[in-house]
Amino acid sequence: MGSGLEAEAIVTEDGRVHMRRPAPSNCDGDAVARRRDNVAAAVAQRRPAAGPGFAQDPGMER
């Protein structure tokens, strides 16, 4: 189907092929940055805080 988001093949000088898709036309940079910040904040909330005893958990020693 022609969605207008067809991928473009780019061949580098060393023969590698990369596929590039253009950004959707309704995509603005500010919205992308806000989504990225929201995802980073959500991940930080789910990550356990490094408190006393955290480093002593089995399998966590370096």
Q: For residue range 39-53, list pLDDT tens digits in order.
A: 888 777 776 665 565
Name beta bridge partners: 8.
20
3-state secondary structure of 19: strand
Percent with pLDDT over 70 in the chain: 48
pTM, whole model, 2 decimals?
0.30
Cβ contact 18:10 at 8 Å: yes
Q: For residue range 14-26, list pLDDT tens digits in order.
A: 888 887 776 666 6
Domain limits, the chain: 9-46
Cβ contact 17:9 at 8 Å: yes
